[in-house]
Chain A
Amino acid sequence: MKDKTRLSDLSRPSGEQLLHLDPEDLQPLPMSRDDGSSGRAWAPLSQQVRDRYECDLDDTCALSLPRPKTPEQERELVGQFLAGLEKLFTRENNWTFLQPLLLTVEHCARCQTCSDACHVYESSGRAEIYRPTYRSEVFRRLYYKHVKGGGLLSAWQHGAIDLTWSMVARLAELAYRCNLCRRCAQTCPIGADNGLVTHEIRKLFSQEMGIAPKELHESGSMLQLKSGSSTGMNARAVRDNVQFIDEEMSEKTGLAVETPWDVEGADILLIHNAGEVLAWPENPGAFAVLLNAAGVSWTLSSELAAYDAVNYGVWYDDAQLARVALMHAQVAKKLKVGKIVMGECGHAHKALFVIADRILTGDLNIPRESCLTLLRDIVVGGRVKLDPSRNDFPVTLHDPCNMVRLMGIVEPQREILRRICPQFREMHPHGVDNYCCGGGSGFAIMSGHNFQDWRAQVSGRKKIEQILNAFAECLDPSRPKYVCAPCSNCKGQIRDALNYHDLWEKHRILYGGLVELIVNAMEDVTPGFIEWEWR
Chain B
Amino acid sequence: MTVVLYLVIAAAVLAFVVASLERAVRYARAPLHLRWELYPVPHEKPARVAYGGSYFETSEWWKVPRHFSLIGELRFMVPEILFLKALRENNRPLWFRSFPFHFGLYLLTGSCGLILLTAGLSVLQGRPISGVVGTLLRETYTLGGVSGLVLALVGAAALLHRRLTAPDLRSYTTPGDILNLLFFLVAFGLLGVGYLLRPEGSAGVLTIVTGILRWDPTPQVAPVFAAGLVVTSVLTAYIPLTHMSHFVAKYFTYHSVRWDDAPLRDNRRIAAAFAEYLTYRPTWSAPHMKAGGATTWAEVAATNPKVGGEKRS
Contacts and interface: CB of A to CB of B under 8 A. Distances in A.
A124 B304 CA distance: 40
Contacts of A83: 285
B106 interface: no
B69 interface: no
A121 to B, nearest CB: 11
A182 B36 CA distance: 10
A222 interface: yes
Given A157-B242, A191-B249, A97 B54 contact: no
B262 to A, nearest CB: 9
Interface in A97-118: 97-100, 102-104, 106-117
Given A103-B27, A158-B176, A191-B257, A210 B288 contact: yes
Contacts of A87: 282-284
A210 B286 contact: yes
Interface size bucket, A side? 35 or more
B66 interface: no
B286 A113 contact: no
Contact of B40 (A108, A111, A432): A432
A409 B57 CA distance: 5
Interface string B284-305: 1111111100000100111111
Given A103-B253, A111-B94, A353-B56, A410 B51 contact: yes
B33 A405 contact: no
Interface in A176-191: 182, 185-191
B168 A112 contact: yes
A410 B52 contact: yes
A343 interface: no
A190 B91 CA distance: 13
A159 B243 CA distance: 13
B278 to A, nearest CB: 7
Given A406-B39, A410-B51, A156 B175 contact: yes
Given A99-B31, A113-B90, A187-B90, A319 B289 contact: yes
Contact of A106 (B243, B286, B291): B243
Interface stretch (B142-150, B189-197, B263-271): B263-271
Given A107-B253, A226-B306, A373-B59, A185 B172 contact: no
A373 B48 CA distance: 15
Contact of B90 (A117, A323, A373): A117
B37 A406 contact: yes
A524 interface: no
A114 B168 CA distance: 12
Which residue, A84, A91, A107, A193, has most C-beta atoms of chain B within 10 A?
A: A107
Interface residues of B, number: 90
Given A406-B37, A411-B53, A99 B286 contact: no
Contacts of B59: 369, 373-374, 376-377
Contacts of A412: 57
Nearest to A114: B90
A77 to B, nearest CB: 12
B40 A408 contact: yes
Contacts of A107: 243, 245-246, 249-250, 253
Which residue, B179, B290, B305, has most C-beta atoms of chain A within 10 A?
A: B305
B70 interface: no
Contact of A358 (B32, B284, B301): B32
Contacts of B215: none
B51 A411 contact: yes
B56 A99 contact: no
Interface of B: 26-27, 30-41, 44, 48, 51-62, 80, 84, 86-87, 89-91, 94, 98, 168-169, 171-177, 179, 242-243, 245-246, 249-250, 252-254, 256-258, 261, 263-265, 270-271, 274-275, 277-278, 280-291, 297, 300-307
22 contacts: A7-B171, A96-B34, A99-B31, A99-B32, A99-B33, A107-B250, A156-B176, A157-B176, A158-B176, A159-B176, A189-B80, A190-B246, A217-B288, A225-B304, A226-B307, A319-B288, A354-B35, A357-B34, A373-B56, A408-B40, A409-B56, A410-B39
